[in-house]
Structure 1
Amino acid sequence: MTSATSLPSVIAVDVGGTKIEAAVVTAGGAVLAETRIRVTTGAAAAASAEAFADALLTTVRKVREHPLAAGISSIGIGAAGPVNLPEGTISPINLPAVRDFEIVRRVQQATGLDDVRLRLDGTCIALAEFWLGAAAGVQNAIAFVVSTGIGGGIVADGRVIAGASGNAGHLGQLVVDTPVNGDVFGATAEGQASGKYTVEWARAHGWSGTSGEELSAAVRAGDALALEAVARSASALGRGLASVANLLNTELAVMGGGFSYVTDDYPSQVERIAREHSVNAYGRELRVVRAGLGKDAPLVGAAAQVLRADLLSL
């Protein structure tokens, strides 16, 4: 097996529902800050597949043209899903105009590089945390983000798994409640626990704020409704993780994402709920910790498809 230290740097790309980010990542997993480019996709990219393509390819080309990218021959992409790995396409939930977008082929054409690899963004986060972060040395874990949405990746028996089409780890789509009036999404972990939908729930119940940051401030001020909204979020996420722990015998849940910082004790709230809802004793051993790599995890994980392919199940 080729060691990571003998490999060249990689261009890493992270495609989310609201932004595209790219940078050079070294063989040791360091993101080179001077190469980092972040573009907000905005309304145009959300409404048009070609506008999205322009934003994506412009970002990738700019990084490829950086002097520190000289000699790079591989690109790793982590993308919001669903993805289709056999086809090299993406259909991000939060970008309704982007469906079956041939991201691998388009990036190959734009850069002239053949080695372009794709994984779900959650898979990339799990790869990063398993390689260099909070899940290092743990054989069975889930790593995920709580942000506008909720997504993750799964480490099972020492490998990051992909699933049939590459979508293993969609923690946010676990159904954790009874659907009301046919609203299945509203009964999912994401529909109840993500930052976006927690704020929406609070506003629907009379809270006057508009963002996760304002909700966090309201929690610190002791606002009863804000506290209730965050407790509801933690409860939904904890119930989802209880199912993961019991299904996969998961030891560790690694939590990142901006909304996970809505309160200092958010991870411990989630851990408590997960343990309370675990039928089996082994499920009650699940630990919930904060991610070790922070905002670098998506890019480090995208690059790890090339640099640490040995950690992938396929």
Structure 2
Amino acid sequence: MTGPGADPAAEPAPGPAAGAGAPVLAVDIGGTKLAAALVEPGGRIAAYDRAATPGGPDLDAEGLWRALEVLLGKLVAGAGDPALAGVGVGCGGPMTWPAAEVSPLNIPVWRDGFPLRARLRARYPGLPVRIHNDAICVAVGEHWLGAGRGRDNVLGMVVSTGVGGGLILGGRLVNGASGNAGHIGHVVVDPGGPPCACGGRGCLEAVARGPGLVAWAREQGWRRESADATGVELAADARGGHPVAVAALRRAGRALGVAIASATHLCDLEVAAIGGGVSQTGELLFEPLEEAFREHARMEFARRVRIVPAGLGQTAGLVGAAALVFAQDRYWSAG
């Protein structure tokens, strides 16, 4: 079966020559970090490495690709060059799918479209290469082995440099017409809110993403003279009781609660699992999130949903990327 943007070339099945226990090379590409792992068929991470996503005025699309190649080569060589069952990737979106010409909003040098799947197929010939939105991979990972395991209707989310999501409904990944279903980061939570990189205004991502939190807090006087203030510092100050830092996380949490309430009414969810760096702030984010959710989720069926941190933590996207290969009957419907 194929979808919009599908490649004409048929893809091989998960590498039988590699043996039943062969790992998948799983990759997570985001605006803050590049991460890679060798994931075994049961979901265990056998090897892991990461690097900061490069930036700067001299970086171009090929420079970012070379940095990714170095990370993958180092990981696989360090594990003794094992035979692989396939390659699974989560990357920031949007993208054409399943061809995976990616145009991540938070990776400027690839914004014009980068042929990621074609490049990885050339680097790993004869193996299935499966790429989806990074937040969709979080949803898949959480449904396969994490907080949504055993449930059929799950929203998985990433709240980090960007905000994204993926939907499992009826026990299967929902792709949508273009492969971008579940993109909750661009649900409007405040029509008069800040401009978003997508061109809209008041999107959840514009309010709740890490760099947006820092920008808002600095406008309110938090570390105003520190041009390189970070989300990590904001979270630390919030834990220390700094009123502006606390208010920034409360603002983000309430926006998330409003968006999840809308998604729950639309999709009749059982679990919403939230991962990503911003989610690591714990109750500073989750308490206002739950408060706003309960205010807006008034239908009885919606109030039954559980909103929880990602059970797999920061590895959810990598595990989900591997599941695109290992559990293709539920999570991969394209060529």
How does the TM-score come out when normalised to structure 2? 0.85
How many angstroms does 1:237 deviate by?
A: 0.9
Work out which of the residue numbers 111, 123, 134 in structure 1 matches 2:124.
111
Q: How does 1:282-297 map to 2 (within 5 A)?
A: 282-297=301-316
AA of the residue aligned to 1:56: L
Note closer, same or farther for the CA distance 1:27–1:19 as it changes in structure 2 (3 Å cut): same
What is residue 62 of structure 1 aligned with on the other side?
Answer: 74
What is residue 203 of structure 1 aligned with on the other side?
Answer: 218
Quick check: 2:95–2:101 contact (8 Å CA) kept in 1? yes
What is residue 12 of structure 1 aligned with on the other side?
Answer: 26
Q: How does 1:41-80 map to 2 (within 5 A)?
A: 41-44=53-56, 47-80=59-92
Quick check: 2:136–2:165 contact (8 Å CA) kept in 1? yes
How many angstroms does 1:179 deviate by?
A: 3.1
Work out which of the residue numbers 255, 260, 277 in structure 2 matches 1:236.
255
AA of the residue aligned to 2:188: V
Work out which of the residue numbers 89, 109, 125 in structure 2 matches 1:97.
109
Q: Does 1:30 align with 2:49?
A: no
How many angstroms does 1:32 deviate by?
A: 1.4
The whole-number CA distance in structure 2 between the counterparts of 1:173 and 1:238 is 14
Between 59-68 and 133-142, report the one with greater CA deviation. Answer: 59-68
What is the DSSP-based 3-state SS (H/G/I as helix, E as strand, rest coil) of the residue aligned with 1:295?
A: helix
What is residue 242 of structure 2 aligned with on the other side?
Answer: 223
Note closer, same or farther for the CA distance 1:117–1:180 as it changes in structure 2 (3 Å cut): closer
The whole-number CA distance in structure 1 between the counterparts of 2:243 and 2:193 is 25
Q: Does 1:306 align with 2:325?
A: yes
The whole-number CA distance in structure 2 between the counterparts of 1:182 and 1:58 is 35
How many angstroms does 1:123 deviate by?
A: 1.3
AA of the residue aligned to 1:90: V
The whole-number CA distance in structure 1 between the counterparts of 2:126 and 2:92 is 22
What is the DSSP-based 3-state SS (H/G/I as helix, E as strand, rest coil) of the residue aligned with 2:22?
A: coil
What is residue 290 of structure 2 aligned with on the other side?
Answer: 271
How many angstroms does 1:205 deviate by?
A: 1.0
How many angstroms does 1:119 deviate by?
A: 1.1
How many angstroms does 1:284 deviate by?
A: 2.3
The whole-number CA distance in structure 2 between the counterparts of 1:211 and 1:181 is 19
Note closer, same or farther for the CA distance 1:88–1:145 as it changes in structure 2 (3 Å cut): closer
Between 100-109 and 36-45, report the one with greater CA deviation. Answer: 36-45
Between 257-266 and 142-151, report the one with greater CA deviation. Answer: 257-266
How many angstroms does 1:198 deviate by?
A: 1.3
The whole-number CA distance in structure 2 between the counterparts of 1:201 and 1:62 is 38
What is the DSSP-based 3-state SS (H/G/I as helix, E as strand, rest coil) of the residue aligned with 2:120?
A: helix
What is residue 39 of structure 1 aligned with on the other side?
Answer: 51
Q: Does 1:193 align with 2:208?
A: yes
What is residue 134 of structure 2 aligned with on the other side?
Answer: 121
The one-character-per-residue Cα deviations of 1:57-103 (angstroms, maximum 9, x if unpaired) are 22223334344442214111111111211323111111122132111
How does the TM-score come out when normalised to structure 1? 0.90
What is the DSSP-based 3-state SS (H/G/I as helix, E as strand, rest coil) of the residue aligned with 2:51?
A: strand
What is residue 152 of structure 1 aligned with on the other side?
Answer: 165
What is the DSSP-based 3-state SS (H/G/I as helix, E as strand, rest coil) of the residue aligned with 1:23?
A: strand
Quick check: 1:24–1:68 contact (8 Å CA) kept in 2? no
Quick check: 1:275–1:285 contact (8 Å CA) kept in 2? no
Backbone CA RMSD of aligned residues: 2.3
Larger relative helix fraction: 1
The whole-number CA distance in structure 1 between the counterparts of 2:25 and 2:143 is 20
The whole-number CA distance in structure 2 between the counterparts of 1:312 and 1:191 is 29
The whole-number CA distance in structure 1 between the counterparts of 2:57 and 2:176 is 28
The whole-number CA distance in structure 2 between the counterparts of 1:145 and 1:46 is 29
Quick check: 1:45–1:51 contact (8 Å CA) kept in 2? no
How many angstroms does 1:147 deviate by?
A: 1.3
How many angstroms does 1:145 deviate by?
A: 1.7
Q: Percent same amino acid at aligned positions?
A: 38
The one-character-per-residue Cα deviations of 1:239-265 (angstroms, maximum 9, x if unpaired) are 111110011111211111221132435
AA of the residue aligned to 1:104: R
Note closer, same or farther for the CA distance 1:45–1:289 as it changes in structure 2 (3 Å cut): farther
The one-character-per-residue Cα deviations of 1:163-198 (angstroms, maximum 9, x if unpaired) are 222212222111111135976644011111122211
Quick check: 2:138–2:275 contact (8 Å CA) kept in 1? no
Note closer, same or farther for the CA distance 1:97–1:235 as it changes in structure 2 (3 Å cut): same
- Tell me the number of residue pairs that the alignment of Structure 1 and Structure 2 aligns: 309
What is residue 35 of structure 2 aligned with on the other side?
Answer: 21
Quick check: 1:24–1:69 contact (8 Å CA) kept in 2? no
The one-character-per-residue Cα deviations of 1:214-238 (angstroms, maximum 9, x if unpaired) are 2223223322222222211111111
The whole-number CA distance in structure 2 between the counterparts of 1:45 and 1:117 is 31
